């Protein structure tokens, strides 16, 4: 049983440069989380085990990042009814358009809430997870509001 | 104060052909919801009022569908910390690719969990909302599991 | 244990309009085959079971067709070392470009030999399977050469 | 009340590298202008206040630059009847194609005159604003003609 | 000397199905206008004559629609300093993406304010022209505000 | 009257990095040619004068390179019946896809023979011009065959 | 030995709907031509024989149309130094974008002058062939000028 | 007669940076192979000779890599009934999208099993060849399973 609310999973070590922004944002919002490498293609059994037991393990939200023919978010979503948020990692040849299509174009029945390609998407996956968890956690709701307010306050009036 | 948990909003009447699939799926899962037309471009004040008061009005999740330069999901997300799920409505010239880019490519700080273009996306937005609400509602969780199991059971072994 | 050499699998009944062209081509070449519906997203357990046992079941080549966020070919390829040939089914909004990217852009380590979008791809997946099986089957090799020669002979000299 | 005819607004400080070319071109044409950061997503209230009062504040033309899911130009256009010219800032993953679609594909009723992606677009937004203001300002019209004539004169006969 | 403020030009008769929406919107706003066929490719001399004399002829704004390799808006803009608004007509093979790129991607120095592909763009080109002319015409400004208010008022609260 | 058979024109000095490959290939094939900057947008009069008199000036083939909203090849083709070959120069944001669409998608009636994006296209425009001129010039035909044979001969048997 | 100046070849009977427009335009200009089906993939030997002997057979220009992975124009160009003009036939899934890329993106050394996707491209290939042949045929040059003038004259002043 | 089972061919020396990954993977799996440069466009005769005799020469599988208008894999497939696997080499302007379309979109009748753009595709072409050869070679089958297992085992549990 994990004590983390959010699992941040990714297809390979190389995705961590992107996905660390999800972890850092969860950290900033004091949301217990855990980062793991779970490859749909290289470790399909691990993926099955992870997804099948994620709910029982205590996770509430899953953030999954992958690039290219990015099957991880959708396959995990097929194996659990927890909310799954997908992050298309920017790929070399197609700049993440392949990742985006592979994650967002899920057929009716198995949803993946997809965020932007790359770092912005990883950060936003964490914020979306926070907004979900905040529904039942007023203190987190306040931290999230504060995070947003701080961002708003940091916007200068004029470019420099 | 609304008694609905989920708001299903869309930019225009013509989006209803797509978005009714979100409403119907919520109906099937017995999730209280409300469908409204809120146009970012034609009724920006209505959009502000809706988004600013959505949390106080009792909504927990917002599903927003729009097509073309689809600003509704992202603007609502900018005005609330409730989870917002976006549905790119298929557009005429660009087949919803414009809708998809306008919804999913949000900058870091304001997330929209984006679903597939068109009807599949509308259905899945409802399922994702269900998975979020189910975190605090074991009965809904069971209905969701049952809905998924029924879908699985309906897959024939061989094509006919 | 199946007596079929080729498994033709697809994500849903609606893919059969495309994938029947694979089956018909295998039929024309007298290659034992079997068509099944195996959905990566709706029946992930069935997919695991199928892929994990495909080699022991006697299959030699797997043809897998799917549309949209098409994970079936790649996931099956992750679970077997049999050759897997993927057919991107033409999708509604993105005309199969999403299917193509989801199937062809596999990461190093897990190959899917991808054919053209739609009917041409389904037919060609069968021909590619035939060329593989013909390596150890001279009679099939002759049938395949004859099939090709007949196609060549059927090309008129002038348009009419 | 501003003494500027043109407002040059942008979604973030990072857009200034692009949008400064609008400001510099307005400068070269001696058109009073003002540059501000107005983020649709991080400062939606500021955006509303700006757009709602832009006409009363004395602005005649608004130039708005943004990248990714670029909602600023369209939302400002929804809140004013002043002419709005949009500049798609080049984005990282999709090279500004997302910015372009988000700005140009506005639904009937709310126009944004969209320029090219990046620096060329920023320069041209200023020139288009100049052509608008020149309709009622013969001196500006002459300066604009002169600017154009100088550009024409600067084109060498042969490449070097 | 024309008594029209706005010229609505297009590359061919077939573009009129799209461009009539510009004319009708100008009509609704009581803006004097004139529609002409001016083909950059089939009647380049006519295009030169038109563009070179447009200002002297009394036009204040030019709306130009074209499809495919759409050179009309940009070439007219190269030959006048009047504001030129371009409408990408939806093309057969590439759905207007070729038209859009050919119109919007103008180099620094010669601006074309580009609207959406197809009918929405034609309508919006007229509205943008109205917003420009309204700067010096308070009565038109009121008509434009009224037009917008009527559109806002026509948005139903709920889908039907 | 020029003594050159081929005019190599381009929209700006910056296109010369690409277009010099056309000139160098013509040089290698000993085809008299002349390189000029002719901007459709900045020097439309020069373009008209050039295209209108190109045939009388003795040119037989025109090679035109341009980037972005690349109107030069098509406009020149509209003003002469000499064969025009277009080279899409690689652009910054859209990698030359805008250039390609703007050049190749000409409407029926005014042809531009379009080559590949960038340097390969510039080289090939020269080779295509050579193949045209060689129809009436047996010595050039031999030089062209020799050029091709040398290229064939230079292909190693194995990679190194 | 053929008495035709232009060969119009295509990959299959189904391309004739497009390519007949090339033949009809050549007919209108009284240019001797011949239409043949030559499939790069189904009749590679026929293609080799055709291309290798095209010059000796008296052809001066080759027009080649094909769709999808369209190899015919480029392969013919690799086997002859006659000018080859390529017509991308509109394909089902990708609307001819695959055909266009396959034809236009030739590497340096082997040029194919590429026309627009579909019917416009077929017509223009004939016109481009005419402009090439007209270099040595003043009567044809006059017919071509007349054809163009008739088209110019047929453009109405106003849309109807 | 070659003693190699797999031919790794490519259009030019510059493709070797990509295709060497196919050769290295075959090497790792101890599969006899041979690498050759065979250019469809510069050495069409060599290509014909290679493809026509490949089967008699003892090759069982052909891996062909090419970029841009990549005709090599499809043309070789048209000339042999051996299985052909195609690798789209990443191109400069279009990032390999042109290569991908040119290889994968083959018409019904002539299949090319296409892998991912670039290095991943080259590696996977070798693995797919291995899976084909392993059907008749139990020792290779074991080496392939071991290769895959080693890859699976090398995936860390957590990112670092």
Cα(H137)–Cα(D28) distance, integer angstroms: 75
Q: Which of B19, D59, B18, B46 is nearest to E151 (CA)?
A: B46
Q: How many domains does chain F have?
A: 1
Half-sphere exposure of D27 (CA within 13 A, CB side): 8
DSSP class of residue C3 equals S
Predicted local confidence at residue A74, as pLDDT: 98
> Is the per-residue pLDDT at E93 higher than 70?
yes
Residue H158 lies in a domain: no
Q: Which of H64, H14, H10 is nearest to H38 (CA)?
A: H10
Chain A residues in contact with C106 (beta carbon < 8 A): 41, 68-69
For residue range D15-69, what is the model confidence (pLDDT) as tens digits?
Answer: 999 999 999 999 999 999 999 999 999 999 999 999 999 999 999 999 999 999 9
> Is the per-residue pLDDT at A1 higher than 80?
no
Q: CB-based contacts of B102: which residues, under 8 Å, 6+ apart? A: B66, B68, B69, B70, B71, B74, B88, D69, D71, D98, D101, D102, D105
Strand order across the beta sheet in which C33-37 lies: C33-37, C6-10, C61-67, C84-89, C113-114, H113-114, H84-89, H61-67, H6-10, H33-37
Cα(E104)–Cα(F3) distance, integer angstroms: 38
> Could you give the angle at the alpha carbon of F137 between the alpha carbons of F131 and F142, nearest 5°?
70
Range C135-141 average pLDDT: 98
Q: Name the band, by pLDDT with cuts 50, 70 and 90, for residue B125.
A: very high
Rounded to the nearest angstrom, the gap between the alpha carbon of residue F110 and the centroid of all alpha carbons in its chain is: 16
Q: CB-based contacts of F95: which residues, under 8 Å, 6+ apart? A: D95, F117, H93, H94, H95
Strand order across the beta sheet in which B33-37 lies: A33-37, A6-10, A61-67, A84-89, A113-114, B113-114, B84-89, B61-67, B6-10, B33-37
Chain H residues bordering chain A (beta-carbon distance below 8 Å): 90, 95-97, 116-118, 120, 151-152, 155-160
| Residue G2 buriedness (CB in 10 A; 0-12 / 13-18 / 19+) | middle
Q: Which residue has the tokens 């009567």?
A: G139
Residue H127 lies in a domain: yes
Rounded to the nearest angstrom, the gap between the alpha carbon of residue B89 and the centroid of all alpha carbons in its chain is: 11
Q: What CATH number is attached to the domain comprising A100?
A: 3.40.50.1970
> Is the per-residue pLDDT at B1 higher than 70?
no
For residue range E42-80, what is the model confidence (pLDDT) as tens digits?
Answer: 999 999 999 999 999 999 999 999 999 999 999 999 999
Q: CB-based contacts of E156: which residues, under 8 Å, 6+ apart? A: B13, B37
pTM above 0.90, yes or no: yes
ipTM for the assembly: 0.98
User: H-type helices in chain A, by residue range?
Assistant: 16-28, 44-53, 72-79, 97-104, 119-133, 138-153
Beta-strand relationship, A61-67 and A113-114:
unpaired
Range H127-155 average pLDDT: 98
3-state helix/strand/coil string of chain G: CCCCCEEEEECCHHHHHHHHHHHHHHHHCCCCEEEEECCCCCCHHHHHHHHHHCCCCCCCEEEEEEECCCCHHHHHHHCCCCCEEEEEECCCCCCCHHHHHHHHCCCCCCCCEECCCCHHHHHHHHHHHHHHHHHHCHHHHHHHHHHHHHHHHCCCCCCC
Chain C residues in contact with A81 (beta carbon < 8 A): none
- CA Rg, chain B, in Å? 16
Residue H46 lies in a domain: yes
For residue range F64-76, what is the model confidence (pLDDT) as tens digits?
Answer: 999 999 999 999 9
Cα(A129)–Cα(A147) distance, integer angstroms: 14
Residue G91's DSSP bridge partners are: none
φ and ψ of F58, to 5 deg: 100, -5
Range C82-95 average pLDDT: 98
Q: Which of B105, B159, B124 is nearest to B25 (CA)?
A: B124
Chain H residues bordering chain G (beta-carbon distance below 8 Å): 11-12, 40-42, 44, 48, 67-69, 71, 74-75, 77-79, 91, 93-94, 97-98, 101-107, 109-110
Q: Name the band, by pLDDT with cuts 50, 70 and 90, for residue E2.
A: confident
Chain-chain contact of B155 with C95 (C-beta, under 8 angstroms): no
Q: Which two tokens stand for residue A62?
A: 């899953």
Predicted local confidence at residue H50, as pLDDT: 98
Range A122-150 average pLDDT: 98
Predicted local confidence at residue H1, as pLDDT: 64
CB H85 within 8 A of CB H30: no
Chain-chain contact of A74 with C69 (C-beta, under 8 angstroms): yes
Residue B158 lies in a domain: no
| Residue D84 buriedness (CB in 10 A; 0-12 / 13-18 / 19+) | buried
Q: Which two tokens stand for residue A86?
A: 């997908």
Half-sphere exposure of C64 (CA within 13 A, CB side): 33
- CA Rg, chain G, in Å? 16
Range D92-97 average pLDDT: 97
Chain G residues bordering chain C (beta-carbon distance below 8 Å): 10, 12-13, 15-16, 19-20, 35-37, 39, 42-43, 46, 68-69, 92-95
Range D111-119 average pLDDT: 98
Chain B residues in contact with E96 (beta carbon < 8 A): 93-94
Chain H residues bordering chain F (beta-carbon distance below 8 Å): 10, 12-13, 15-16, 19-20, 35-37, 39, 42-43, 46, 68-69, 92-95
Cα(D40)–Cα(D72) distance, integer angstroms: 5
Cα(D16)–Cα(D22) distance, integer angstroms: 9
Rounded to the nearest angstrom, the gap between the alpha carbon of residue B115 and the centroid of all alpha carbons in its chain is: 8
Predicted local confidence at residue D3, as pLDDT: 87
Cα(E61)–Cα(E6) distance, integer angstroms: 5
Chain-chain contact of E41 with F107 (C-beta, under 8 angstroms): yes
Q: Which residue has the tokens 């190699």?
A: H4
Predicted local confidence at residue D1, as pLDDT: 64
Which residue of chain E comes nearest to F70, CA vs CA?
E102
Q: Which residue has the tokens 């273009």?
A: B117
Residue C87's DSSP bridge partners are: C65
DSSP class of residue E22 equals H
Range C112-128 average pLDDT: 98
Cα(D36)–Cα(D64) distance, integer angstroms: 10
Cα(H8)–Cα(H38) distance, integer angstroms: 10
Cα(H106)–Cα(B14) distance, integer angstroms: 39
Domain of residue B105 covers 6-153
Cα(F12)–Cα(G120) distance, integer angstroms: 29
Q: CB-based contacts of E23: which residues, under 8 Å, 6+ apart? A: E8, E33, E35, E126
Cα(D79)–Cα(D62) distance, integer angstroms: 12
Residue F1 lies in a domain: no
Residue E159 lies in a domain: no
When CB atoms are compared, the residue of C95, C151, C152 closest to G94 is C95
Cα(D94)–Cα(A130) distance, integer angstroms: 27
Range D76-81 average pLDDT: 98
Residue D1 lies in a domain: no
Residues in chain G: 160
C-alpha distance from B117 to closest chain E C-alpha (Å): 18
For residue range B52-99, what is the model confidence (pLDDT) as tens digits?
Answer: 999 999 999 999 999 999 999 999 999 999 999 999 999 999 999 999
| Residue B100 buriedness (CB in 10 A; 0-12 / 13-18 / 19+) | buried
Residue H49 lies in a domain: yes
φ and ψ of G85, to 5 deg: -115, 130
């Amino acid at each position: 049983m994990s004590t983390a609310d959010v699992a941040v999973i990714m297809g390979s070590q190389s995705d961590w440069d992107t996905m660390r922004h999800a972890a850092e944002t969860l950290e900033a919002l004091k949301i217990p989380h855990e980062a793991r490498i779970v490859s749909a293609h290289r470790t399909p059994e691990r993926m099955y085990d992870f997804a099948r037991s994620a709910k029982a393990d205590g996770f509430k939200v899953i953030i999954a990042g992958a690039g290219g023919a990015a099957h991880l978010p959708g396959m995990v979503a097929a194996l659990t009814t927890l909310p799954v948020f997908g992050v298309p990692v920017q790929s070399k040849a197609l700049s993440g358009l392949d990742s985006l299509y592979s994650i967002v174009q899920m057929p009716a029945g198995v949803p993946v809430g997809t965020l932007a390609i790359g770092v912005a998407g990883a950060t936003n996956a964490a914020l979306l997870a926070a907004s979900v968890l905040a529904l039942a956690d007023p203190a987190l709701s306040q931290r999230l509001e504060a995070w947003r307010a701080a961002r708003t306050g940091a916007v200068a009036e004029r470019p420099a």
